[in-house]
Amino acid sequence: MAADLIVGIQWGDEGKGKIVDLLAQQYDIVCRYQGGHNAGHTIVVDGKTIALHLIPSGILNPKATNIIGNGVVVSPEALLKEMEQFEDLDGRLLISDKAHLIFKYHEQIDRAKERLRGKNAIGTTGRGIGPAYSDKVSRQGHRIGELRDIDTLLAKIIDYFKANEAYFKALGITPPKEEELRTELELYRQKLLPFVVDATNYLWENMEQGEHKILLEGAQGTMLDIDHGTYPYVTSSNTIAAGACTGLGLAPKDIGKVTGIAKAYCTRVGNGPFPTEELGPLGDRLREQGHEFGTTTGRPRRCGWFDAVAAKYACRLNGCDELALMKLDVLDGFEKIKVATAYEYEGERIDYVPSDLENVTPVYVEFDGWDKVEGIKRWDDLPIEAQRYIQALEDLTQTKIGIVSTSPDRADTIIRK
Ligand code: GDP
Ligand code: IMO
Ligand code: MG
């Protein structure tokens, strides 16, 4: 049985956590396939808020098994902290032995490099994501499965520090002391190794048996993809649907329905191009009404209008079968709502995403606003202006909007037939 997939189609924080949690009630296995604790996925059930960074958002379904795939970079420290929130994770959390480890020095490199970049800083989350993926790709990273043999792992890390001595010195980073590192690794081995498995094989077996439904949970968003996003202002993994294949060991034909998650407007945290950004009071109003402050870093998110050109590009890249439109209630009370339907670029009007997105000017169409959609659970109860807005976004993105979300709560969701 093919695995269904959830993917962010903007710059992250679209509301993936809410939808994965909602859908997870019908799935048996939920997997993260890329990213790390740079992600912050928020779930609200009966007024109680839970923020997840590494553990898949299926964890609130007591029957689901949650998998951290090989494409994820894992900070053992962050994971252990997150695990403390849940009582019995035995059999409910599995970690691929091929997932790479994030150590404190990766965080230190991340922050030191951001300081050196000065005004060109990417605005990373400072979680060591880029440096951990860099070490993986340059074949000097360490996999979580290596915790099985601490002596060898420790020796490798010490060799790594020797080989990169000049680099660490230039960044002002002091290598950890051997004994401290050993104690740390021992702790990780003891606490995490019981969860470490061959996750790819586990998934293949489940797919062959065909009894269990599998859901794949993307982190970040399409426009932050290392290849297809606004490079270099991106994260260090393939955030698009294709990342699920490499990040879990699945073949393209193993992927079933793809649902893209989009906000009814747009946000971005960190630097880089954002054509529809509203720098004035309307942007402030979106930030306030949408509580647009990062789940991971608390930073204020940049806010602006729905970018239908970028959304259409993302739907094509991910092969979205449908979209979930989130946070429609945040537009409550706006008299007019703008949507970018094209860009002006090099003196021409275009409807595609060029690789130098910083050089486009959005072309807007204005829609009438509505009074209130907050908490609405049925399509027919939506004001006609909201229905028209949603239908226009479907036309512009050429993708059906199958889910509409009207509050953070799991219950406040319209599932369209
Ligand atoms: P993710 O990273 O894609 O999982 O999204 P985040 O959790 O970082 O950010 C989305 C925020 O919007 C969270 O605080 C959610 O609780 C909240 N949220 C999700 N859906 C809705 C919605 O329909 N309306 C409102 N007002 N908030 C929502
Ligand atoms: P979720 O899964 C929004 C952004 C950072 C920065 C860039 C690179 O919650 O949607 P990194 O630390 O990954 O090297 O930072 O990517 N970023 C996110 N923005 N949501 C996220 O995750 C993000 N994860 C990383 O702000 O601009
Ligand atoms: Mg988030």
pTM of the predicted structure, to 2 decimals: 0.97
Ligand index nearest the alpha carbon of residue 43? 1
15 CB less than 6 Å from ligand 1?
A: yes
**Residue whose C-alpha is closest to residue 214's, from 89, 99, 64, 88:** 64
45 CB less than 6 Å from ligand 1?
A: no
18 CB less than 6 Å from ligand 1?
A: yes
For 285, how many CA atoms within 13 A lie in the half-sphere containing its CB? 14
pLDDT of 297 reads 80
**Residue whose C-alpha is closest to residue 372's, from 336, 330, 408:** 330
Round to whole Å and give the CA distance between 49 and 291.
Answer: 14
> Residue 262 Cα, ligand 1 centroid: separation in angstroms?
10
**Residue found by looking up tokens 């970040």 in the block:** 220
Q: Token pair for residue 207?
A: 């797919």
Q: What is the mean pLDDT of each run of 10 residues along the chain (417 residues)?
A: 96 97 95 98 92 96 96 98 94 97 97 96 97 98 98 97 95 94 98 98 96 97 98 98 98 98 97 97 97 87 98 98 98 98 98 96 98 98 98 98 97 94
**Residue found by looking up tokens 């989130």 in the block:** 326
Domains of the chain from N-terminus onward: 3-77+200-415 (3.90.170.10), 100-194 (1.10.300.10)
260 CB less than 6 Å from ligand 1?
A: no
Active site residue 13: yes
Active site residue 41: yes
pLDDT of 1 reads 87
What torsion, rounded to 10 degrees, do the Cα atoms 142, 148, 151, 157 define? 10
Residues with CB under 5 A from ligand 3 (ion): 13, 40, 295
- First-to-last alpha carbon distance for the chain, in angstroms, is 23
> Residue 346 Cα, ligand 1 centroid: separation in angstroms?
36
For residue 160, how far is the Cα from the chain centroid? 30
Beta strands in 97-242 (DSSP E): 100-101, 196-197, 214-217
Catalytic residue among 37, 41, 100, 228: 41
